[in-house]
Amino acid sequence: MSEVTLTIDGKTVKAAPGTLLIEAAKQAGIEIPQFCYYEGLTLQAACRMCLVEIEKAPKLMVGCTTPVAEGMVVHTDSPTVAAARKGTLEFLLANHPLDCPVCDKGGECELQDMVFRYGAGESRFTDIKHHVDEKQWSPVVFYDGPRCILCYRCVRICNEGMGVGALGIVNRGVLAEIAPNKGDHLECDECGACIDICPVGALTSGTYRYQTRPWEMEHVGTICTHCSNGCKTTLGVRNDHIMRGNNRDRSGINNEFLCIKGRYAFDFVHHEERLQTPLRRIGDKFEEVSWAQALEIVAGKFSEVKSRGGQFGVIASNHTSNEETFYLKKFAREGLGTANIDHHRTGDIATLLDSLSGKVNVLSTVQDLYKARAVLVIGSDLAQQHPLLSYQVRANFRHHSAHVYVVTPGPVREDKYAVKSVRVSEGGELAGVEGLRDLLAAETELTILYGDAIKGEAVRRLVTFADSLGIAVKYVPLVDYSNSRGAYDMGAIPGDGGMSYDEILAAPALDVLWVVGANPLKNRSLASKPFIVVQDLFLSETAKRADVVFPAASAYEKNGTVTNVTGEVQRLRAAAKVMGTKSDLEIMGLLGKEMGLALGIWKHDKIFAEIRGTVRGYNVPLPVITTGGAAQTAAVNGRVPPTAFPDSIRSARDTLFTSGSLTRYSKMLQSVRESPGAVYEG
């Protein structure tokens, strides 16, 4: 039978066999209340909130575990059902403290909503409520036991979604409580997924609790600025201050997922050390100067060096928007006449695109990873370095039994469910992959994710190997940061004999070093003594060496687009404003104007139109982007030339709790870092 026909509240509904009543009703626009049910997680049937009346059934049935059947007649809002819901709520409230006026969840609490709709105004319970004190399990997670309705959503999301399993239940009956894995504290990913999935205010976050009310904030959907996975995060903003991040509406490519960085590590925006005034060097000290003065000094220097044919070195960012990087490349090439532009490259995208020349449907999206029949992870600890991709592969295994293969130098979370995990020494990844030939060739299709161990010629060898398997193969070239992919695609790489990142730092006679949103001197030295101009949020190691520093806005303070690790373009929306800063685009636009350059208008939407028209593969549908969707760029080669500097490609090996130089300015990340952590800890 291809479809089942049933009636719900008088409406004829068709659904696939096996569909749960709660889902069939939702598809027909009928809401069945729920607490414990959560799409994508195992069924629990713990709360009895979803009771419905099914004709010919002897008693009320649970909508979240009952599958549809042919001819079924269901009533979801009969007086009997309403009375049952009221009874369920009365039990749930027996020990619930009714402290809604001070509870963080007030105004967006599922229990509050249900009581408003079905509950009794008065309780028949006259006994003293059972009380236990609130507990703090980590800097991120607080648990208020009396508010808990024991729906087990938190336990399941942690175990199934995160693959961590840090939460369980202790005691029975009214004494039952959720408990953390280490008795009195959590040792976990600190992702906060348990907090956001909690239908009530039992779990609250260390960053947001008691700060504001939901209705006092604007809610701005933008893209996380940390790793390359491109999670959508909705920032709650009050008076230009970011109060929280979440993805509770499950929009974007990440569904409900966010790691600790997307959910909590926005606090660097308001760090007291943010630069808010341009600085210029006087001897070994900085002096605050006006924007006009700073622009005049830098424009004068750039013009002078250009006119005498001096040498520029331009270092671009892994964090600035596509529009900004595109404009910087244009500025360097056309405005300054230099091909010496590069960025800290963390994965080899260019050689892959070149190797895939002529092939179609070869780049995986984040969504594809959820459906791929087989996944091969090479040289990356996904749970640490690519949390969303790790989440997708895990969900794929849970829901579709995907075959997962791992070739890494150390243990990774995927080992737990991989068909085969191969341990190799660093540099031996490709040989490890070739040892899997027979297993991989037996698959019908394969998605390969590879880290910085595979670069240059090794990328070509990998593609040749994959071609020889005779199955459909898709790729994800892994890169580190929020717009590492865009930096490549926008052409912030050396061409026409230009110097690479390493060569710029090692050049003996550089006249100007211009660094936009990067910190190359954090752990590298500079061979020459150029005039240094830096655009940054903080006085980084590089900024400390600068002659002029411009205070720049972060990605949470600007509009534009970024491209994630799978080549999907998404829109950035400005959520906050930090006084005294300007976006990198505005800084460059003003600088070009001061120099009298004709680089065109510096509005982000105009530049995005130019990108769509000129960058190969970037002619993505505008409505998808403007409505907050993700549009994958086409895998066309020739967008950027394959780089001649594969040795410059190296991952920063950030972990779940680090994010390059931003790490030290996020107090939340600092607070959860009990140990420095490392990739490959399993």
Q: Which stretches of the chain bind ligand SF4, using CB under 6 A?
A: 140-141, 148-154, 157-158, 162, 164, 166-167, 178, 186, 188-194, 197-200, 202-203, 224, 226-227, 229-231, 258-259, 261-262, 387-388
Q: Which is nearer to ligand SF4, 92 or 418 (CB)?
A: 92
Contact by Cβ (8 Å): 61, 54: yes
Q: Which is nearer to ligand SF4, 174 or 292 (CB)?
A: 174
User: Are the CB atoms for 398 and 156 separated by under 8 Å?
Assistant: no
CB of 397 to ligand FES, least distance (A): 25
Instruction: Please provide the distance, in angstroms rounded to a whole number, between the alpha carbons at the two ends of the chain.
Output: 44
CA dihedral 257, 564, 384, 543 (to 10 degrees): -120
CB 43, min distance to ligand FES, A:
8
d(CA 219, CA 247): 11
Which residue, 608, 568, 564, 617, is CA-closest to 585? 608
Least Å distance between CB 171 and ligand FES? Answer: 20
Give the x/- contact pattern for ligand FES in 35-64, rule: CB under 6 A. Answer: xxx-------xxxxxx-----------x-x
Give the β-pairing of 11-15 and 4-8: antiparallel
Query: d(Cα 137, Cα 178) in Å, to the nearest integer?
Result: 11
Q: Is the dihedral of CA 290, 291, 292, 293 positive or negative?
A: positive
Phi, psi of 174, deg, nearest 5: -65, -15
Q: What is the DSSP letter of 305?
A: H
Nearer to ligand FES, 36 or 546 (CB): 36
Residue 490 binds which entry of ligand FES, ligand SF4, none, CB below 5-8 Å type-dependent? none
For residue 362, what are the contacts with CB-CB under 8 A and spacing of at least 6?
Answer: 356, 473, 474, 475, 635
User: Measured at CB, which residue is nearest to ligand SF4?
Assistant: 262
Shortest separation between residue 314's beta carbon and ligand FES, angstroms: 56
- What span, in angstroms and rounded, lies between the C-alpha atoms of 397 and 439? 17
Closest to ligand FES by CB, 62 or 193: 62
Nearer CB in complex with ligand FES: 92/574 = 92
Binder of residue 192, out of ligand SF4, ligand FES, none (CB less than 5 to 8 A by kind): ligand SF4
Question: CB of 91: closest distance to ligand FES in angstroms?
Answer: 13
Angle at 358 between CA 357 and CA 364, to 5 degrees: 75
User: Residue number with the shortest CB distance to ligand FES?
Assistant: 64
- Using the minimum distance from each CB to ligand FES, give the nearer residue, 34 or 320: 34
Stretch that binds ligand FES, among 1-9, 28-36, 160-168, 526-534 (CB under 6 A): 28-36
State in angstroms the smallest separation of the CB of 677 from ligand SF4: 14
What letter represents residue 214's amino acid?
P
Give a three-class secondary structure readout of 488-503.
HHCCCCCCCCCCCHHH
In angstroms, what is the minimal distance from the CB of 510 to ligand SF4? 34
* 43-to-38, 277, 638 alpha-carbon distances in Å: 8, 55, 49
Which of the choices ligand FES, ligand SF4, none does residue 630 contact, using the CB cut-off of 5 to 8 A by kind? none
Closer residue to ligand SF4 in complex, CB, 513/574: 574
62 binds, among ligand SF4, ligand FES, none (CB under 5 to 8 A by kind): ligand FES
Closer to ligand SF4 at the Cβ: 111 or 315? Answer: 111
Taking the complex as a whole, how short is the minimal distance between the CB of residue 261 and ligand SF4, in angstroms? 4
- Report the C-alpha gap between 344 and 198 in whole angstroms: 40
Distances (CA, A) of 16 to 4, 5, 81, 431, 664: 6, 9, 25, 45, 51
Least distance to ligand SF4 from the beta carbon of 162, Å? Answer: 5
We find the least distance from the C-beta atom of residue 157 to ligand SF4, in angstroms, to be 6
387 or 589: whose CB is closer to ligand SF4? 387
Site for ligand FES in 63-102 (CB under 6 A): 64
What, of ligand FES, ligand SF4, none, does residue 253 touch, CB below 5 to 8 Å by kind? none
Q: Measured from the CB atom, is 85 or 319 closer to ligand SF4? A: 319
State the DSSP H helix or E strand holding residue 457, giving kind and residue range, or none if neither: helix 457-468
CA angle 388, 154, 143 (to 5 degrees): 120
Given a contact cutoff of 8 angstroms between Cβ atoms, the answer to whether 431 and 462 are in contact is: no
Contact 238, 217 (CB under 8 A): yes
CA dihedral for 493, 495, 498, 503, sign (positive or negative):
positive
19 counts as binding ligand FES under rule CB under 6 A: no
Q: Which does 141 bind (CB under 5 to 8 A by kind): ligand SF4, ligand FES, none?
A: ligand SF4
Which residues are at the interface with ligand FES (CB under 6 A)?
Answer: 34-37, 45-50, 62, 64
